[in-house]
Amino acid sequence: MNKLLITGVSGFLGWNIYQLAKSQWQVYGTCYSHYNLYSQQNIIKTDLTDLVALKNLFKTIDPSAVIHTAAASKPNFCQTNPIESYEINVTASMNLAHLCAEYQIPCIFTSTDLVFDGQNPPYSETDPVSPISYYGEQKVVAEQQMLEIYPATAVCRMPLMFGMPSPTANSFIQGFIDNLQTGKELNLFIDEFRTPVSGTMAAQGLLLALEQQVSGLLHLGGKERISRYQFGLLLAETMGFSTDLIKPCRQKDVVMAAPRSPDTSLHSSKAFALGYQPLSLKEQLSLIPNSGGNK
Kindly list the domain boundaries of the chain, sorted by start residue.
Answer: 3-161+196-219
**What CATH superfamily is the domain 3-161+196-219?**
NAD(P)-binding Rossmann-like Domain (3.40.50.720)
The whole-model pTM stands at 0.95
Q: What is the pLDDT, as a whole number, of residue 33?
A: 80
Q: What is the pLDDT, as a whole number, of residue 284?
A: 97
Tens of pLDDT, residue by residue, the chain (295 residues): 899 999 999 999 999 999 999 999 999 999 988 766 665 668 999 999 999 999 999 999 999 999 999 999 999 999 999 999 999 999 999 999 999 999 999 999 999 999 999 999 999 999 999 999 999 999 999 999 999 999 999 999 999 999 998 888 899 999 999 999 999 999 999 999 999 999 999 999 999 999 999 999 999 999 999 999 999 999 999 999 999 999 999 998 998 999 999 999 999 999 999 999 999 999 999 999 875 444 3
CB 205, CB 215: distance < 8 Å = no
Q: What is the pLDDT, as a whole number, of residue 289?
A: 82
Q: What is the pLDDT, as a whole number, of residue 135?
A: 98
Q: What is the pLDDT, as a whole number, of residue 131?
A: 98
Q: What is the pLDDT, as a whole number, of residue 1?
A: 80
CB 116, CB 129: distance < 8 Å = yes
Q: What is the pLDDT, as a whole number, of residue 198?
A: 98
